[in-house]
Chains A and B, each alone.
With several copies, the nearest count.
Chain A
Amino acid sequence: MSDLFKYMAENSSEIFRLLIEHIELTAVAVGIAILIGVPLGIFISYVKGMSKPIIGVANVVQAVPSMAMLGLAIPLLGIGVLPAVFMVTLYSLLPIIKNTYTGIASIDPEMVEAAKGIGLTRGQVLRKVKIPMALPVIMAGVRISAVTAVGLMTMAAFIGAGGLGYMVFSGIRTANNLQILAGAIPACILALLVDFLMGLVEKLVTPISLQPAYMEAKAKAKKGRTRQKAILGVAAVLLVVLIGNSVIGSMGGSKDKHITIGGMDFTEQFTLVYLYKYYIESETDIDVTAETNLGGSQVCRGALKKDEIDMFIDYTGTIFVEVLQNDPITDMQKVYEVCKDEMYKQNKFILLNQTGFNNTYTLATSKEVSKEYNLTKLSDLKRVAKKLVTGTTFQFLNREDCMKGLNSKYGIKFKDSKTLDGTPRYTALENREVDVIDAFGTDGLLKKFDLVVLEDDINFFAPYYGVPVIREAVLKEYPELENVCNKLSSVLDDETMMELNYRVDEKEEEPEDVAKDFLKSKGLI
C-alpha cells in the first residue's frame, strides 16, 4: 500500500497529465454520446417502427468486443484521439438511448393526454412534460454511460490517444502492479467524480418535486441548488478550458507549413519530440505538432505510414531486428545502411542521419571501482573480470548478445553474477554488493548515480542509435528539414540524453521545458 502511494507520488505529474487527457477524452466522448443518444432515444419513442432497428444497432455495437472494435476502427480512422473518442462514443450510446426511450415510453399516458389537452405542441409536450418526468431514468442512462466511458477510455492508450490507460497497459506489459493501480485508481476516482458531477446536473435539472423525499428538504434543496450550481459551474469552466486548450492547441498546429512529429511512450521520446519540434520551429517557418505518447515503435511506424505523423525518432537496432527480422549485429554503420535501404524500399521512409546517442545495453560501474581497477572500456574487463561481481537483469544474463556473448566470444568471465532488476541494481552498486551492472545507454539513472559507462571499444553491443524517420513526401515538401534535423542529431549524444532523461525522470521537470532549456543553453534556439 505504501509502495503504491510512493509510486503515485513519484509519478504524480505524469499521472496528472494522463488524468487530464483522460478527462478531455471522456468528456468529449460522453458529450457526443449524449448529443446523439438522447435525441435518438426520444426519436424512437415517437416513431414506433424505429425503436427496434435502432436499439438493435446499438445492441450490436455494444456486443462488439472492444479489442475487435479497435482492430476495425484503426484501418478506418487511424490512430489517436479520433478513433478513441469514436469507439467510446459508440459504446456509450446503448445505455443512453435505451434509458431515454424507456423513460419516455413509460410516462403515465394520462399525464401526456393532459398536456396535449391543454394545447401543448408535440415539442412542448416533450420539453415540458416528457423529458422532465423521464429525467431520472434518462440521467441513470447517462451516468451509466459516463462511468463506463471512463473505464473504456483506457483503451485509448492502445492507439496513442493517451489517457490513464497508458499507465495501465504499460503496467500490464511490464507486469508492474503498482503502475496498473496508479492508472486504475485515478480512473476509479474520476468515475466517482464524473458520477458526482452528473448527479449534480441531474439534481439541478430534475424538478424538485420529483426528487425523493423533497418535502422535508424543500427549503434546504433550494438553498443547496446555489451550491450545486457553483460546483457545476466551476467544473464546466475547467472542462471548457481543458478542451478549449487542446482544440486551440491542435488548431494552432494547422498553419500553412506544418508537420507532426510522433513519439513513443517513454521519457526519452518525449524529450526528443520536443527537441526536434522547437529546433525545427526556430530554424524554419514550419509549424510542428508534437504527437507524443503513441505507444511502441510499431504504432509510430503505422502512424507514419498512414500519414498521421510526418516524422518520428526510431532506433536503428529496433528497425534492424524487429522490422527486418535480422539477427543483431554490431556494426553500427552497416545496421544504419541496411535499415535506411530497406525502409525506403518497403515504405518510402527516409532515415535521416543517425543521432549520436545509442540507447543500447551497456555495462556501467561506479567511479570507485573504475579507479580501483582502472576500468573504463569493455576491453579492460578481460583483465579484471575475475575479480568483479556483476548485477544484471535476468535477460542480460541469458542473451547471446549480452553476457553469454561476452563470455563465449571474448572469454570474459566474472567472479559471480547476480540477477537484479531495475533500480536495485544501482543501489547494489552503490553499496558495493556488486561491481558492474548493465544499463541502457541513455538511462537517466546513470547520471543520477554518477556512474562510469564502459566504452564499447570492442564493438560488442548491437547499436540502437536514435534516428529520425521521415516520409519521403514530407521531405520533398520541406527539404530544409534534412539539414536542420541532421544538425540537431549530431548534437545529441549519450551524455546529453542521459542528462535530459535524468532531468525529466528524476527531477520531474517537464519534457518541453527540458528540451527548450537544452536548446537554449546550446545556443541552438
Chain B
Amino acid sequence: MIQLENVTKKFGGKVVLDKISMDIRDNELTVLIGPSGCGKTTTLKMLNRLIAPSEGKITIDGIDIEAIEKIELRRKMGYVIQQGGLFPHMTIRDNIEIIEQLEKKDKDHIVENTIRLMEMVDLDPEEYLDCYPTELSGGQRQRIGVIRALANDPKIILMDEPFSALDPLTRSNLQDEFVKLKEKVDKTIVFVTHDMDEAIKVADRICIMRDGHILQFDTPEEILRNPADDYVENFVGAKRIWDSPEYIKVEDFMIKKPVTCHPDTNKGRCLQLMSSSHVDTLLVVEPDNTLVGMIGRKSLYWATDKNSIARDMVYPNMSVAKPDDNIVDILRIVDEEDINNMPVVDDKGKLVGLLTSSNLVSTLSRQFLSEEQEEAKQEEVSEV
C-alpha cells in the first residue's frame, strides 16, 4: 500500500499540490485523472522520488520512501513517461532491455521476454527491435515506453498517460492487457490518464484531481453514480454513465408507485381503474405488497366471465426484475421476451416498482437529450 499524507509540492512560489492524501491499495489499478496541469504527473514523479515533496510524506507499506534507496525503489516500479522518454541513442531493443541487461539477467530470457512484450503491444519484433526511436511513429514510441516499464517485471507500475497517442483498437487491447495483468499477477498500477472512458474501463478506483486538490477518490461506479460535486459531474460527463450502462440500476429509473389492485378486484373495477389512472396494466398485490401478477387490457378481453377477479386474470409466465438489476439485464430480457411491462420485486417477493416500455424509452432517451429537457422530465417519468 502506498500512502500519501498531506503531501504538498511547490515550484518556486507556486503551489502545485496542496496537502493531498491518498491510499493506493495493493493489487489495484488506481487512476489519477483531472484537467491538464492539475498535478497528476507531479504526483506520479513523487512516488518514485524524481521529485521531492515540499511537505508531507509518502510511505510504501508503512516505510517512508525517503528511507528507501532510490535505485531500489525505482527498480521496483516500472515507469511509463508521459512524453515517451526513449533514449535516442539506443536501439529499441536496448531501450527495452536496458535494466535487464544492467541486472545481468539470463540472455535468452531477456530476448524471449522482449519478443513477448513486443507482441503484446502489437509491434513486429523483427522489424522494429533494431530501429532507433526516431524511426518510429508517435504511437509506436509510446508503446515501447510502456513495455520498457514492464520489462523488468516490477511489482508497481506507474503509467503517465501511457496510451494517449494510440488509436482506439490498439488502446483497447492494451487496456485489456493491463487489467488482465493486474488481476493475474498481482500488480499495483498507478495510471494517469485524461480519458474518462479509459479510467472507468480500467480503474479499480479513480482519483479525480483539480488544481492540486483531490476532488473525489472512489470506485468508478460511485463516481459515476454519485459525483462529489458539480465539477466532477461535469468532468465525468453527465451522459458518461451510458458508456457504463451496467451502473444504471432498475431502482434508478423504475416507476416507483405503479398502479396496483387487490387480487379480489373484479373485472369492471379493474377496467375502471385503468381508465381513471391512464394505464394499460395493473399490478395485482396482496395487502402485504407481495406481488401476485399483472393484468392488462388484453387479459380483460380474454376474461369473458364478467365476475372474474384480478387474481384469475393475471398473465402467465410473467418476468420480474430486481431493483438492483441493471438496465442492460433488463434490455436483454425485454429484447428476448418481447414484453412491454415488467414488475420490480424485492428479494421477499414484494412489489417495489414497475418497468414499462415507455418508461425504458424515456430512460434511454436521456442520454441523447439535453440536460434541461431531461431534468424537466425526470419527475414526470417517475410518476407515470
**Known contacts A114-B81, A118-B79, A119-B74: A132-B89 contact under CB 8 Å:** yes
**B73-92 interface mask toward A, CB cutoff 8 Å, 1 = contact, 0 = none?**
01101110101011111110
In angstroms, Cα B134 to Cα A206, docked, is 16
In angstroms, Cα B149 to Cα A219, docked, is 30
Q: Quick check: A117 and B102 within 8 Å, CB to CB? A: no
Which of chain A's residues 107-152 have a Cβ closer than 8 Å to chain B? Answer: 108-111, 113-121, 124, 128-129, 132-133
In angstroms, Cα B131 to Cα A219, docked, is 12
Measured CB to CB, the nearest residue on chain A to B91 is A209
Contacts of A215 in B (CB 8 A): 11-12, 135
In angstroms, Cα B74 to Cα A197, docked, is 40
Q: Shortest distance in angstroms between A300's beta carbon and chain B's nearest beta carbon?
A: 54
With most chain B CB atoms within 10 A of its CB, the pick from A114, A117, A128 is A117
Does A208 sit at the interface, judged by CB under 8 A? yes
Contacts of A17 in B (CB 8 A): none
Q: Quick check: A119 and B134 within 8 Å, CB to CB? A: no
Q: Shortest distance in angstroms between A129's beta carbon and chain B's nearest beta carbon?
A: 6
Measured CB to CB, the nearest residue on chain A to B85 is A114
In angstroms, Cα B133 to Cα A208, docked, is 12
Q: Quick check: A209 and B48 within 8 Å, CB to CB? A: no
Does B187 sit at the interface, judged by CB under 8 A? no
**A86-122 interface mask toward B, CB cutoff 8 Å, 1 = contact, 0 = none?**
0000000000000000000000111101111111110
Query: Which single member of A110, A132, A206, A207 contacts B85 (CB below 8 Å)?
Result: A110
In angstroms, Cα B90 to Cα A129, docked, is 9
In angstroms, Cα B98 to Cα A321, docked, is 74
Q: Shortest distance in angstroms between B208's beta carbon and chain A's nearest beta carbon?
A: 25
Contacts of B90 in A (CB 8 A): 128, 132, 207, 209
Q: Quick check: B12 and A209 within 8 Å, CB to CB? A: no
**Known contacts A117-B79, A207-B90: A111-B85 contact under CB 8 Å:** yes
Q: Shortest distance in angstroms between A341's beta carbon and chain B's nearest beta carbon?
A: 73
With most chain B CB atoms within 10 A of its CB, the pick from A119, A210, A218 is A119
Q: Quick check: A208 and B149 within 8 Å, CB to CB? A: no
Does B331 sit at the interface, judged by CB under 8 A? no
In angstroms, Cα B98 to Cα A132, docked, is 14
Q: Shortest distance in angstroms between A108's beta carbon and chain B's nearest beta carbon?
A: 7
Q: Shortest distance in angstroms between B228's beta carbon and chain A's nearest beta carbon?
A: 32
Contacts of A218 in B (CB 8 A): 12
Query: Which single member of B12, B75, B83, B99 contacts A110 (CB below 8 Å)?
Result: B83
Which of chain B's residues 329-356 have a Cβ closer than 8 Å to chain A? Answer: none
Q: Quick check: A120 and B12 within 8 Å, CB to CB? A: no
In angstroms, Cα B48 to Cα A455, docked, is 94
Contacts of B15 in A (CB 8 A): none
Contacts of B88 in A (CB 8 A): 108, 111, 133, 209-210
Measured CB to CB, the nearest residue on chain A to B44 is A117
Contacts of B11 in A (CB 8 A): 215
In angstroms, Cα B12 to Cα A108, docked, is 21
What secondary structure prevails in chain B residues at the interface with A? mixed
Does B185 sit at the interface, judged by CB under 8 A? no
Does B132 sit at the interface, judged by CB under 8 A? yes
**Known contacts A124-B102, A208-B132: A117-B48 contact under CB 8 Å:** yes
Q: Quick check: B148 and A118 within 8 Å, CB to CB? A: yes
In angstroms, Cα B91 to Cα A208, docked, is 9
In angstroms, Cα B86 to Cα A117, docked, is 11
Q: Shortest distance in angstroms between A114's beta carbon and chain B's nearest beta carbon?
A: 3
Q: Quick check: B74 and A118 within 8 Å, CB to CB? A: yes
Measured CB to CB, the nearest residue on chain B to A118 is B79
**A185-217 interface mask toward B, CB cutoff 8 Å, 1 = contact, 0 = none?**
000000000000000000000111110000100
Does B50 sit at the interface, judged by CB under 8 A? yes
**B162-173 interface mask toward A, CB cutoff 8 Å, 1 = contact, 0 = none?**
000000000000
Q: Quick check: B50 and A115 within 8 Å, CB to CB? A: no
Interface range on chain B (Cβ under 8 Å from partner): 20 to 34
Q: Quick check: B50 and A116 within 8 Å, CB to CB? A: yes
Contacts of A133 in B (CB 8 A): 88-89
Does B361 sit at the interface, judged by CB under 8 A? no
In angstroms, Cα B79 to Cα A215, docked, is 24
Q: Quick check: B74 and A128 within 8 Å, CB to CB? A: no
Contacts of A206 in B (CB 8 A): 89
Contacts of A108 in B (CB 8 A): 88
In angstroms, Cα B60 to Cα A457, docked, is 105
Contacts of B135 in A (CB 8 A): 215
Measured CB to CB, the nearest residue on chain A to B83 is A110
**Known contacts A128-B98, A207-B90: A117-B132 contact under CB 8 Å:** no
In angstroms, Cα B269 to Cα A388, docked, is 163
**Known contacts A118-B98, A133-B89: A110-B134 contact under CB 8 Å:** yes
Q: Shortest distance in angstroms between B98's beta carbon and chain A's nearest beta carbon?
A: 7
In angstroms, Cα B90 to Cα A132, docked, is 9
With most chain B CB atoms within 10 A of its CB, the pick from A109, A114, A124 is A114
Q: Quick check: A118 and B134 within 8 Å, CB to CB? A: no
Q: Shortest distance in angstroms between A202's beta carbon and chain B's nearest beta carbon?
A: 13
In angstroms, Cα B70 to Cα A121, docked, is 8
Contacts of B91 in A (CB 8 A): 209
Query: Which single member of A113, A121, A210 contacts B50 (CB below 8 Å)?
Result: A113
Q: Quick check: B99 and A118 within 8 Å, CB to CB? A: yes
Does B376 sit at the interface, judged by CB under 8 A? no
Which of chain B's residues 57-109 have a Cβ closer than 8 Å to chain A? Answer: 70-71, 74-75, 77-79, 81, 83, 85-91, 98-99, 102
In angstroms, Cα B127 to Cα A220, docked, is 18
Which of chain B's residues 281-325 have a Cβ closer than 8 Å to chain A? Answer: none
Q: Quick check: A117 and B74 within 8 Å, CB to CB? A: yes
Contacts of A114 in B (CB 8 A): 81, 85-87
Q: Quick check: A111 and B87 within 8 Å, CB to CB? A: yes
In angstroms, Cα B89 to Cα A121, docked, is 18
Q: Shortest distance in angstroms between A38's beta carbon and chain B's nearest beta carbon?
A: 18
**Known contacts A132-B89, A218-B12: A117-B134 contact under CB 8 Å:** no
Q: Quick check: B102 and A120 within 8 Å, CB to CB? A: yes
**Known contacts A111-B85, A111-B87, A132-B89: A119-B50 contact under CB 8 Å:** no
**Known contacts A117-B74, A119-B71: A129-B50 contact under CB 8 Å:** no
**Known contacts A110-B134, A116-B50: A210-B89 contact under CB 8 Å:** yes
Q: Quick check: A117 and B89 within 8 Å, CB to CB? A: no
Contacts of A115 in B (CB 8 A): 87
In angstroms, Cα B90 to Cα A210, docked, is 9
Contacts of A208 in B (CB 8 A): 132
**Known contacts A209-B88, A209-B134, A210-B89: A119-B99 contact under CB 8 Å:** yes
Q: Shortest distance in angstroms between A243's beta carbon and chain B's nearest beta carbon?
A: 32
Q: Quick check: A117 and B87 within 8 Å, CB to CB? A: no
Q: Shortest distance in angstroms between B193's beta carbon and chain A's nearest beta carbon?
A: 18
19 A-B contact pairs sorted by A residue (CB < 8 Å): A110-B83, A110-B85, A111-B88, A113-B85, A114-B81, A115-B87, A118-B74, A119-B75, A119-B77, A119-B79, A120-B71, A120-B102, A128-B87, A128-B102, A132-B90, A207-B89, A207-B90, A209-B132, A215-B12
Contacts A116-B70, A129-B89, A209-B88 known; 18 new A-B pairs at CB < 8 A: A110-B134, A113-B85, A114-B85, A115-B87, A117-B85, A118-B78, A118-B85, A118-B148, A119-B75, A120-B98, A128-B90, A132-B89, A133-B89, A207-B132, A209-B90, A215-B11, A215-B12, A218-B12
- B positions within 8 Å CB-CB of A: 11-12, 45, 48, 50, 70-71, 74-75, 77-79, 81, 83, 85-91, 98-99, 102, 132-135, 148-149, 152
